[in-house]
Structure 1
Amino acid sequence: MTLNALVKWMGEGIVFEGTTPEGSKLVMAGPSEMNDGKVLGPKPIEVLLHAVAACTSVDTIAMLKSKGAEISEYEVSVTGERGSIAPKPIEKMHLIYNIKGKKMNPDMIKETLETAFLVESGVANTYKSNITWSFNLIEE
């Protein structure tokens, strides 16, 4: 399956607009020091962190719901460590899944996250860095 993305420079500063084939838009920018001290959008490296969290979350929520889980709140906190030598790739990443709801237990979440990371997530499996994860279950 071929995937497509279009990224256009916005004409000023270091700011880009990404467009999907379906027309969804995403703005990304260089660091504030490249944009007269202004934060004009997330940096592309930050978008990568969001992409891993979102991709694994698509699979995690779908799988948990298929197992009967009733999710009332869900968020993922991501931290990444970049290398010190250019191109400074993310060398380590850690995701914390905070899941609140009913009809779940730690074993169910662990199994679901393992499947999301090892089998389902195209983004996490494309980015072959040291990606780790953990979770918090807030039972109701």
Structure 2
Amino acid sequence: MKVTEENTIKIREEFVEVQNGMRIQKIVMSNSKSSADSRKKKHIVYFPGLTYTFEKEPDEDKSEWNWAAEAGMDVHLINFPGSGKSKGHSLNGQNRVNAGIAVISDLLKQGIHPDNSTVWKLCWRTNSCRGL
């Protein structure tokens, strides 16, 4: 896990392993000044769609989510299989669904309650996020 800080925003890179060999990259933004237990914080999980990749370095695209991190939420930016440092293929819609399920299951294993999580997805004109 790599960590960088931009003002009060801490950015770290995590990976979720999926049974079929896929590896899902998460870029997690959080408030570096917050000492709240991660299990009690609010979380936003964002799936940007197939044509977009998040990088760990601070950039304009992640800054759209600064408001949430500054408010004390953790923002999980997900790269589907085949994008960023994620491993696997996204051409199969079921792989995208499996990736989404793996990410949410990983949060549950960390003790993050579903009431504290919101899933956002950008899937215009595709079926890639059906089932999430």
For the superposition of Structure 1 and Structure 2, which TM-score range results when normalised by the shorter chain?
Answer: 0.3 to 0.5
State the TM-score, normalized to the length of structure 1.
0.35
State the TM-score, normalized to the length of structure 2.
0.36
Q: Comparing both structures, which one devotes a greater share of its residues to helix?
A: 1
Q: Comparing both structures, which one devotes a greater share of its residues to strand?
A: 1
Larger Rg: 1
